[in-house]
């Protein structure tokens, strides 16, 4: 052995030692310096984020009955690495999934083939949204059968609306992407949706959870339940009667709102045409519109309560003050204002009962623009009621400086002004409630998932609009509206004193002016007149019959509803029930034709 | 007598040499222990285990016992016995390598013909070939020392013999073993003193040859591309190495704890065999990976010391061949798993699952111990001679 060999061996040895040292440096670099980078890379590969879905809050009626609730549904999926026998599996479950066995088998085989080709677990959803029953049946069939393995289920929630189309526009619905549309579903989204939880799972390459490594878990926070003031019994009465009227008159639309005047609680709220909440796809925007809050209508004569009550409150007139009604034609600012039935001298009381346009105009002229405008606003017109539904509009009330010369004679009779049906019934409720305007309320309570109240709403007074005395005088006049000498005898309910006011407004042509022969007819009233349990507005847009008036179309609907509501509330009749045919003929008005407006 | 073959006395070297065998045995013991523990951990999830978590451990344990016995025999029987047996070894290697291609004895796995069935055992003939080539090259260059720089007698014959084996292994598509055997043979020839003018062209030709073959085998040249652009091939060819890096990196300094590795769970292919090193890094951390690298360093240096102190030239070359066989395998494995080298299948000696490899690694250790034992006698004699000389000088 010579030195040369030693030297060469040493060179090789040192060279290899050098390379090993290099690798050691590389190890230190990888494991100490780059540690954090690789930890996150590893987490990316192993850790799987699983969403724990929060239960969406339930929308309930005033008795706690669910109006919108959740149903467990399942997505059926096939896992390519677990399917053993596609043919047998397809035969076994095709019936449950209501699929063609051959087609299902082809699908399963494709999943298996893709898994083999990519060497990676392939899974595919076979059917979405199957019911709990199907889930249980398939589980029963495949349980313990190795040949039938490879099917798994993903739990999901589906929103169901037990009452179908009842209260549809108010409740709202969730679209296919689980986004809330319309109504309470949308406006109360923050309360209803809850917060989804998250579970971090570690998985092996084959996607099995490594239970021993289960990491951080943030539980889901379930959504809050929303309880409405809506009484579904009343809602049912209102909607069924509205349906009858809709079928009878074939109008473009109809709406009805019922509320409790003393508290402002909305008891029922309906729009026509309507749609089924469980099948919103087949509806149109027209059917989804919540008319009581989203439609701008000219109120027509129902608006006369504003000018008359203002005149009384401002002591411009008393109920007995005589007003000359120009025998049905009053020229003002170059235009002639007509009454439906020409009249001479009328008291303020009679102006309201007979719905004289000229009388109302003269009262407004006496009040003056500014005071009249003030009262319009005091009744809540021109601003949203804040009921808490999306799409509520404030209506259109111009300030006096924008009024034309003619407006002071048109606005008192409900023209040149636009309000929502809800505003109208709220204003009428103020009269019913002794002059005190209540804020309409739709939501009574919000409860968390454990049924503890989170927010409780109580009735809110907005303001005193007129004194109790003034309100009483108006109520007395409104009672006469429903009498034989008034404009709406058909609104009468035997045994009960009904107060109310008709409205008939010519439809506004979008191109300007009014549409001849097309009317929006309405009736808004409350019952019993001196101790009101409910106020109700019925609006029917363009009823398809000749000579349509509030008194002939809307008033009977009001009466039918009111009668059923009286039964439902168990109200004791206060008035003597006069058998039909024994009614004394009115002295002054021989016309049995109900007045226009 | 201070003959040409006698190494010059070197006191420091002597001291190190005396301890080298113990260092060698100690390092091997550490590696085998880590290996068995980690094999249990890494193999527990492997699909090849057929659900039996002890399957790998049992098989490896058997091969370890068998290898240990043979290794003790090797340490006892004089290593010069191998000089007579080279022809048997080379011949058997050729036969067994050829048998790999013949069914039903040969076993085709993952597109390679690397295994044969021997009764109920599956063995890898290339492991035997590695050892046979070391024995043959050591014997040839010890015997024909004076002719070793002559092209025909010195180089052509060993090239033909070794080249035939390499050709068979290449045909098995086992490029890792080919590169290992080729490099080992070249290193041995370099240490034997073969002229660099002859060696360097061979080295270059060999490199180009391996590259060309690697490029021509479909799928293999993607591995080379994957090594150059790891990001592009992250989920395909470079996936295994990338997963290895994630395992090492996420283990950090302390590791996730024994048995807590995630990458072995089907993310990292062959986590129990060629890619066991990243699993160790993931579960036991930087400290243990550095200990392992250090153990290989100790094996390398102590093996070299043993060889340099061998009694004769055959012992020196044989010992050095065994050492570089062990060292190079470790080097390639660690290099591949840390993405410093392109992905070539190469086991981590004493640790990776693989009976044939563990067996021949233990045989190499046995041979080195034997060389040490015979070299030590000679070293003792040299020291006696030295003392005689010192005494002789002191008379004046």
- Is residue A424 within 8 Å of residue A537, measured between CB atoms? yes
Q: Residue A346 carries which DSSP code? A: E
Query: What's the pLDDT at B300?
Result: 93
Q: Which residues of A touch B334 (CB under 8 A)?
A: 20, 23
Q: In angstroms, rounded to a whole number, what is the distance separating the alpha carbons of residues A231 and A233?
A: 5
Q: In angstroms, rounded to a whole number, what is the distance separating the alpha carbons of residues A322 and A332?
A: 20
Which structure tokens are listed for B4? 């040409």
B338 with A30: Cβ contact below 8 A: yes
Give me the half-sphere count of Cα atoms (radius 13 Å) on the Cβ side of residue A351: 35
Closest-CA distance of chain A to residue B117, Å: 28
**Which of A22, A34, A205 has the CB atom closest to B265's CB atom?**
A205
More confident residue, A386 or B380: A386
Give me the half-sphere count of Cα atoms (radius 13 Å) on the Cβ side of residue A69: 10
A301 has catalytic annotation: yes
Helix (H) / strand (E) element for A140: namely: helix A132-142
Q: In angstroms, rounded to a whole number, what is the distance separating the alpha carbons of residues A329 and A437?
A: 35
Q: Which residues of A touch B285 (CB under 8 A)?
A: 31
Number of Cβ within 10 Å of residue B109's Cβ equals 9
**Which of B253, B267, B281 has the CB atom closest to A205's CB atom?**
B267
> Of A165, A271, A301, A309, which residue is the catalytic one?
A301
> What is the CA A340 to chain-centroid distance, rounded?
38
- Listed range (A297-306, B9-18, B275-284, B348-357) with the worst mean pLDDT: B9-18
- H helices of chain B, in order, are 11-43, 55-76, 81-99, 125-143, 157-171, 175-192, 196-216, 220-228, 239-251, 276-308, 313-337, 355-394
Query: What's the pLDDT at B9?
Result: 47
Q: In angstroms, rounded to a whole number, what is the distance separating the alpha carbons of residues A157 and A73?
A: 6
B249 with A22: Cβ contact below 8 A: no
Which structure tokens are listed for B218? 């479909």
What is the percent of chain A with per-residue pLDDT over 70, rounded to a whole number? 90
Q: Residue B254 carries which DSSP code? A: T
Q: In angstroms, rounded to a whole number, what is the distance separating the alpha carbons of residues A230 and A443?
A: 8
For the four alpha carbons of B351, B357, B358 and B361, in that order, the dihedral sign comes to negative
- Listed range (A123-137, A416-430, A522-536) with the worst mean pLDDT: A123-137
Chain A: residue whose CA lies nearest to B265? A204
Is the pLDDT at B228 greater than 90? The verdict is no
A52 beta partners: A197
Query: What is A52-92 written as a DSSP string?
Result: EPPPPPPEE-TTS-EEEEEEEEEEEEEETTT-S-HHHHHHH
Query: What's the pLDDT at A95?
Result: 83
Query: What's the pLDDT at B110?
Result: 64
A76 beta partners: A127, A153
Question: For residue B132, which of B178, B98, B190, B91 has the smallest C-alpha distance?
Answer: B91
More confident residue, B121 or A487: A487
Query: What's the pLDDT at B12?
Result: 46
Is the pLDDT at B159 greater than 70? The verdict is yes
Is the pLDDT at A130 greater than 70? The verdict is yes
- Is residue B300 within 8 Å of residue B320, measured between CB atoms? no
What residues contact A400, with CB distance under 8 A and at least 6 apart?
A369, A370, A373
Q: In angstroms, rounded to a whole number, what is the distance separating the alpha carbons of residues B162 and B182?
A: 8
Helix (H) / strand (E) element for A24: namely: helix A3-28
Secondary structure of A150-195 in the HEC alphabet?
CEEEEEEEEEECCCCCCCHHHHCEECCCCCEECHHHHHCHHHHHCE
A38 with B246: Cβ contact below 8 A: yes
Query: What's the pLDDT at A48?
Result: 60
Angle between helices A101-118 and A86-97 (to 10 degrees): 130
* A96-110, A157-171, A371-385, B147-161: which is most confident: A371-385
Residue tagged 């591309």 (tokens): B225
Residue-wise pLDDT for A185-221, tens only, equals: 898 888 888 887 777 666 655 555 555 555 566 778 8
Give ipTM to 2 decimals: 0.85
Residue A335 phi/psi, 5° resolution? -120, 155
Query: What is A507-548 written as a DSSP string?
Result: EEPTTSSEEEEEEEEEEEEEESTTS-SEEEEEEEES-SSSS-
Q: In angstroms, rounded to a whole number, what is the distance separating the alpha carbons of residues B262 and B255?
A: 11
Q: In angstroms, rounded to a whole number, what is the distance separating the alpha carbons of residues B189 and A343?
A: 133
């Amino acid at each position: 052995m010579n030195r040369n060999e030693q030297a060469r061996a040493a060179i090789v040895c040192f060279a290899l030692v050098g390379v090993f040292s290099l690798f050691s440096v590389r190890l230190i670099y990888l494991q100490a310096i780059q540690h954090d980078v690789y930890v996150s890379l590893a987490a990316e590969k192993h850790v799987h984020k699983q969403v724990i879905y929060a239960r969406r809050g339930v929308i309930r009626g005033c008795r706690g009955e669910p109006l919108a609730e959740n149903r467990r549904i399942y997505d059926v999926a096939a896992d390519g690495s677990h399917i053993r026998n596609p043919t047998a599996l397809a035969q076994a479950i095709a019936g449950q999934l209501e699929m063609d066995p051959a087609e299902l088998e082809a699908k399963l085989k494709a999943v298996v083939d893709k898994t083999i080709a990519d060497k990676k677990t392939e899974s595919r959803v076979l059917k979405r949204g199957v019911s709990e029953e199907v889930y249980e049946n398939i589980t029963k069939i495949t349980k313990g059968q190795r040949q039938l393995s490879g099917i798994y289920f993903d739990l999901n929630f589906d929103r169901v609306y037990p009452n179908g189309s009842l209260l549809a526009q108010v409740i709202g619905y969730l679209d296919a992407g689980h986004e809330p549309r319309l109504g309470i579903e949308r406006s109360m989204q923050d309360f209803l949706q809850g917060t989804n939880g998250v579970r971090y799972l570690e998985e092996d390459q084959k996607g099995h959870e490594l239970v021993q490594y289960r990491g951080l878990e943030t539980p889901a926070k379930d959504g809050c339940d929303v309880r409405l003031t809506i009484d579904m019994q009343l809602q049912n009465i209102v909607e069924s009667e509205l349906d009858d009227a809709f079928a009878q008159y074939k109008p473009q639309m109809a709406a009805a709102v019922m509320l409790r005047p003393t508290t402002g609680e909305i008891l029922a709220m309906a729009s026509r045409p309507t749609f089924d909440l469980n099948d919103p796809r087949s509806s149109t925007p027209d059917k989804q519109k919540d008319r009581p809050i989203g439609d701008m209508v000219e109120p027509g004569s129902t608006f006369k309560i504003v000018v008359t009550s203002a005149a009384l409150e401002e002591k411009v007139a008393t109920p007995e003050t005589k007003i000359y009604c120009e025998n049905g034609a009053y020229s003002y600012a170059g235009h002639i204002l007509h009454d439906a039935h020409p009249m001479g001298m009328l008291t303020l009381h009679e102006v309201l009962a007979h719905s004289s346009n000229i009388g109302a105009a003269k009262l407004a002229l006496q009040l003056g623009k500014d005071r009249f405008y003030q009262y319009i606003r005091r009744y809540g017109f021109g601003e949203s009621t804040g009921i808490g539904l999306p799409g509520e509009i404030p209506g259109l009330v111009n300030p006096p400086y924008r009024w034309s010369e003619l407006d002071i004679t048109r606005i008192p009779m409900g023209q040149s002004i636009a309000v929502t049906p809800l505003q109208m019934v709220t204003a009428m409720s103020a009269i019913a409630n002794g002059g005190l305007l209540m804020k309409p309320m739709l939501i009574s309570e919000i409860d968390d998932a454990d049924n503890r109240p989170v927010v409780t709403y109580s009735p809110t007074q907005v303001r005193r609009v007129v004194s109790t005395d003034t309100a009483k005088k108006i109520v007395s006049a409104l009672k006469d509206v429903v009498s034989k000498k008034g404009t709406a005898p058909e609104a009468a309910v035997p045994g009960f004193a009904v107060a109310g006011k008709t409205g008939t407004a010519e439809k506004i042509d979008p191109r300007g002016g009014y549409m001849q022969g097309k009317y929006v007819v309405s009736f808004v009233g409350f019952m019993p007149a001196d101790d009101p349990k409910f106020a109700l507005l019925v609006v029917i847009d363009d009823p398809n019959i000749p000579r349509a008036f509030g008194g002939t179309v809307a008033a009977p609907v009001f009466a039918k509803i009111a009668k059923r509501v009286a039964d439902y509330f168990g109200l004791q009749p206060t008035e003597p029930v006069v058998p039909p045919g024994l009614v004394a003929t009115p002295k002054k008005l021989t016309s049995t034709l109900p007045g226009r407006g | 007598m201070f003959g040409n073959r006698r190494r010059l006395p070197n006191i420091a070297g002597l001291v190190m040499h005396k301890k080298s065998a113990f260092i060698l045995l100690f390092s091997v013991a550490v590696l085998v222990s880590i290996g068995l523990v980690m094999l249990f951990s890494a193999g527990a999830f492997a699909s090849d285990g057929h659900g039996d978590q002890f399957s790998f451990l049992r098989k490896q344990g058997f091969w370890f016992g068998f290898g240990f016995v043979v290794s003790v025999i090797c340490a006892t029987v004089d290593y010069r016995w191998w000089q007579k047996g080279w022809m048997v070894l080379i011949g058997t290697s050729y036969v067994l390598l050829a048998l790999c291609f013949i069914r039903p004895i040969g076993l085709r796995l993952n597109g390679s013909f690397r295994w044969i069935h021997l009764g109920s055992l599956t063995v890898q003939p290339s492991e035997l070939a590695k050892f046979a080539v070391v024995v043959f090259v050591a014997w040839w260059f010890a015997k024909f020392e004076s002719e070793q720089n002559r092209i025909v007698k010195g180089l052509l014959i060993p090239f033909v013999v070794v080249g035939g084996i390499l050709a068979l292994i290449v045909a098995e598509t086992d490029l890792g073993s080919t590169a290992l055997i080729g490099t080992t043979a070249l290193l041995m020839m370099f240490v034997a003193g073969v002229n660099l003018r002859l060696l360097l062209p061979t080295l270059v030709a060999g490199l180009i040859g391996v590259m060309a073959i690697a490029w021509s085998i479909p799928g293999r040249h993607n591995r080379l591309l994957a090594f150059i652009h790891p990001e592009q091939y992250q989920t395909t060819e470079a996936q295994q190495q990338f997963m290895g890096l994630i395992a090492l990196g996420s283990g950090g300094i302390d590791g996730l704890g024994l048995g807590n590795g995630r990458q072995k769970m089907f993310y990292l292919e062959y986590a129990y065999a060629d890619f066991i090193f990243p699993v160790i890094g993931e579960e036991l951390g930087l400290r243990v990976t550095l200990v392992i690298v250090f153990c290989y360093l100790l094996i390398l240096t102590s093996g070299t010391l043993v060889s340099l102190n061998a009694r004769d030239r055959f012992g020196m070359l044989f010992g050095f061949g065994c050492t570089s066989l062990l060292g190079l395998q470790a080097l390639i494995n660690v290099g591949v798993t840390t993405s410093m080298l392109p992905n070539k299948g190469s086991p981590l000696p004493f640790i990776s699952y693989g009976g044939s490899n563990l067996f021949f690694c233990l045989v190499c250790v046995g041979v080195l111990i034997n060389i040490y034992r015979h070299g030590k006698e000679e070293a003792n004699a040299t020291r006696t001679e030295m003392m005689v000389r010192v005494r002789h000088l002191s008379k004046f």
